[in-house]
Amino acid sequence: MKDQFYSYIKNLQNQITEAFEKVDGSATFFEDEWNRAEGGGGRSRIIENGSVIEKGGVNISAVHGPLPESMQSYFKVDEVDFFACGLSLVIHPKNPMAPTVHANWRYFEMYDKTGNCIDQWFGGGLDLTPYYLFEEDAQHFHRQCKKACDIHHPDFYLEFKNKCDAYFHNPHREEARGVGGLFFDYLKEDKEFTIQDRYDFTTEIGNNFLAAYLPILEKRKSMKYSAAQRTWQEIRRGRYVEFNLVHDKGTLFGLKTNGRIESILMSLPPAVQWRYDHHPEEGSEEYNLVTVLKNPKVWV
């Protein structure tokens, strides 16, 4: 299974980076292959200062070795070995009318000291973070998420949509990071689903990513915007950074397993502001966005 999934994410990385280079039209991804001393490595692809994409990364990795003590307590296990592979991406468009998008799809195995696999699961999802709210964009994104989920189970969309709303939430701000999408983790084999079923579902979501996001980026990438709207984008990006550094499990896992810092922090946007006690004017477009972020909506 780990070979099957790693082969999948290598191909998916190629498809996604080719699609974004085509949309941008000027910038290309810089590829950086790296090795982890404890075992494994990865292939990071970074794009910066494009005509459409200000900064983005589409990274894959496959790492293995003894599970660090800090993660043993998290998983409630003794000394074990692990294997983890996945694809993680973040795209920060230049235009504040175009939303940031994040996605990742991952697979994890755990082994006892004799090398027997004692646990395995899939996780992942995708979510949208707009700076100006276009409801038709959020609806399109969620329709695509639901369409992919419905192929596998009628309850999946609502279950994983709700988990996304709960996960991508800044409790210290009492607001969501964005308008959500899907989030799932610890998808294991059980009485209803085989591990191959979990693979099929996870890859369905991965295969649907470009259809969910690219039409939105194409529609918004050339819209006119003001300096004030750019400032608002940078203030909202600050909230994005806060979530990633304080709450995001993937960031924390990478840091605690001696992950590659450049790959872990590639999700951070290049231009960010933190204004003291900043509040948008009531009734403004900015105010309307924050209102929605404080109360997650049903989009489809």
First and final C-alpha spacing in the chain: 34
Question: Catalytic amino acids?
Answer: 102
Residue 117's contacts (CB-CB under 8 Å, 6 or more residues apart) are: 109, 110, 111
Exposure b/e, 64-99, CB count within 10 A at least 16 = b: bbbbeeebeeeeeeeebbbbbbbbbbbbbbbbbbbb
Provide φ and ψ at 55, rounded to 5°. Answer: -160, 140
By the 10 Å C-beta count (0-12 exposed, 13-18 middle, 19+ buried), 249 is classed as: exposed
Is the torsion defined by CA of 258, 49, 235, 218 positive or negative? negative
Name the 3-class secondary structure at 47.
strand
Between CA 290 and CA 287 the distance in angstroms is: 5
158: left (phi over 0), alpha (psi -120 to 50) or beta: alpha
